[in-house]
Amino acid sequence: MKHSPLWTALCASAAMGLALGPVMAQEAGETDGILVQPGETESGTAAESEAPGAGLTASPTEDDTAGDETDEDEPAAEASSEAAEEDAATGAESGDEALAEEETDEAAPAATLDVAPAEAPDDAAETEEDAGEDEAQSAQSFRDQPQEQREVGTDWPFWGGDTNAQRYSPLNQITRENVGELERAFVFNSGDLPEGTADGKYSPETTPLKVGDDLLICGAMNELISIKADTGEENWRYDPGVPNEAIPYGATCRGVSLWTNPAAAEGDTCATRVIEATLDAKLIAVDVETGMPCEGFGENGTVDLWQDIGERVPGWYAVTAPPAIVRGVIVTGAQVKDGQAEEAPSGVIRGFDAETGELAWAWDLGAEEQNRNGPPEGEVYTRGTPNMWTTATADEELGLVYLPMGNSSVDYYGSNRSEAEEEYSTSLVALDATTGEVAWSFQTVYNDVWDYDLGSQVTLVDFPQDGGTVPAVILPSKQGDIYILDRETGESLFDVEEITGLPKGDIEPDYISDVQPSSTYHTLRHDDLTARDMWGFSPIDQLWCRIQFHRANYDGFYTPPSADRHFIQFPGYNGGSDWGSVAVDPERGVIIANYNNIPNHNRLIPREEAEERNLRPIYEQDEEGGSGAEGAGDPQIGAPYGIDVNAGWRSPLTQMPCTKPPYGGIRAIDLETGETLWDEPIGTARRNGPWGIPSFLPLKIGTPNNGGSVVTESGLIFIGAATDNLFRAIDIETGETLWQDVLPAGGQANPITYEVDGRQYVMIMAGGHHFMETGVSDAFIAYALPE
């Protein structure tokens, strides 16, 4: 185990008979020792120059400064961190004499902890060893058996609703008959809006949790906020101080996670804690009641996820999804910004002890055994490996965690990938959450050069089969296929066909696979495009798009990348299904899946051309050049080609799509058979028009959409997602829209429903989305029937 400079300093103090008692008490999980408050530099602040949480505190609502920290505040935090590092280093070298003088009064309770004096250092070492053993035994007890999980209904305790991520609620107060009476119960404005260099980069995608009387929210820049679930009144907020330069592509925090320590006594600080991972790659734990950092977790409530990743390049390595927590282990991956370089930060998946923040294991698919407990001193996790940027699903009963894996760091070229990358790229991987070892994996694309990474969180169901049920996983994919897999083995419960005779192209024909898997259960994928599918606002648009269609390389599904001319990728990399995932009504046996139906128009950029265009990776960006929006001129350093992506292929003449509508839809699928029950376009033309001018037409054209839905026992589907900025209630039996409300910005977030004092609420974050061009807002809007 590696120790920070602060730990080293404290151990040096212990050898002098100073201050070790309270430190050991905290490390062993005891609550009677001295808890140093945030901001105290001796032992409450990280000693490293990048100190997690340095100088940051949680503030009650009455403190008007709580949400006012800006980039100008960061030097003060850094200065505090540097001062702490100097104090720690000086204390270690001089026997911590100054530290001893400062702590004499406050450390008095340590005398009751039987800490050996300076003349008996061996006993102190034994005490430390005993504490470590107690800690290990405590952690192991969490992992030996399932913990009791919170249920969905009155609460919404997980990002996916319940522990199975079904996005289903048994609440039924709001019905198909009275949903038209819904009104806004309250609107909470978080105050988290883009400033300075964050302008044009906001895509919050936030889904709150509801537990007890409170909602737990994260802002786009990772500010944690607790509010009353019935009024929106603020309880507390904690700002981890994430800087604008940490934004990878968009400022996004999809949500947070909760963990309750089964060994803690009622009323203990951090007995239940909010766990968040941040854009600047930190893992944070705060007390659910107060928002104060959990000081026994990492350093002052923070674990640095950059540990053993390599050089810090802000924006290249970030976390946007809520961690999964299984058997007391926090499991997280990270978003690695696409298209930059082959030698990108590792896609390693790590598990951390939920009580202490200690590394429990690492799954580095390039060095699985060597790096299980972290890489050797001076080395880093394998660079450029596939990552998991989306949300994992915890299986507390089996002790597994299901990881939807992405592609390698260079998405559109694969001849230089390793065998390990090929084995796990674009696969669902089940890990033993207690050891980090692979239980099974299921691959959805062979030799992926289309950026078809798995974006959807999987859903756990008891799947009906042969008169009984099988514990199963529902796996949606960007290419539209939906798979049903055995949860214990990863085997498909339905035949997996192989599409054969696929084109191989002329860039790397020996690498491109001429077969690909396809689900026989269900696919959201539409038929291949033809020239007749080209469309436009005017006849000139239509003619231009049809000409471009004939000029492009397009041989149907899985057309490989090309450089001599554009190639058409259909469906595009937004799906099919994406991060919003599916919802499941287990009572009716229905899957609800919204999807996109729009192509990308791409071209590989030869290296010489990329140099002429001054396309640079994120680690070389300056005022003269660098990569812009994801896919728009990505350099792909280490490959012979960069990449241009026109996502949601549009005509440059009017900025209208080149293909005919619908561009997105929502579908009901019979869970047992995979048959389509109904399929409807989702989204109107009210905000669409040439050159970005809204038409205000209520025509149901089906727009691109991002974000998922929630289903209730009363037969309602609530969903935002579409680019018309409407929040809808849809009849699960027919697909008919029964109610809608205009949002201040796009509802590109998964909604929730919950209950307070017998009253049912439905909430969505209307934050907008820069990529979807749906505006900017900080509004969390709760709806309910009139009292």
Known catalytic residues are: 451
Residue 649, token pair as written in the block: 């292929």
| Strand partners for 729 | 718, 739
> At which residue do the structure tokens 């292929």 appear?
649
- Cβ count within 10 A of residue 298: 24
> C-alpha distances in angstroms, 34 versus 22, 113, 125, 380?
5, 11, 20, 35
- Cβ count within 10 A of residue 306: 17
> At which residue do the structure tokens 């505006």 appear?
775
Contact present, 382 and 364 (Cβ < 8 Å): yes
First-last CA distance in the chain: 57
C-alpha angle 782/218/249, rounded to 5°?
115
- Cβ count within 10 A of residue 101: 10
Residue 400, token pair as written in the block: 């597994």
| DSSP 8-state symbol, 179 | G
SS3 per residue for 511-576: CCCCCEEEECCEECCCCCCCHHHECCCCHHHHHHHHHHHHHCECCCCCCCCCCCCCEEECCCCCCC
Contact present, 76 and 55 (Cβ < 8 Å): yes
Q: How far apart are CA 593 and CA 18, in angstroms?
A: 60
Q: How far apart are CA 322 and CA 161, in angstroms?
A: 13
Contact present, 144 and 136 (Cβ < 8 Å): no
Extended beta strands in 267-316, E state: 272-277, 282-287, 302-304
> At which residue do the structure tokens 């960007």 appear?
478
> C-alpha distances in angstroms, 610 versus 498, 552, 604, 643, 694?
36, 20, 10, 9, 36
Residue 164, token pair as written in the block: 């199975």
Contact present, 785 and 181 (Cβ < 8 Å): yes
Q: How far apart are CA 180 and CA 178, in angstroms?
A: 5
Phi, psi of 680 (to 5 degrees): -130, 140
Contact present, 614 and 624 (Cβ < 8 Å): yes
Residue 148, token pair as written in the block: 């009791």
Residue 419, token pair as written in the block: 């065998």
| Strand partners for 17 | none
Cis peptide before 468 (omega within 30 of 0): no
Helix (H, G, I), strand (E, B) or coil at 713: coil
Of 320, 335, 316, nearest to 405 by C-alpha is 335
Contact present, 360 and 345 (Cβ < 8 Å): no
Strand duo 349-353 + 567-569: pairing: unpaired
Helix (H, G, I), strand (E, B) or coil at 9: helix
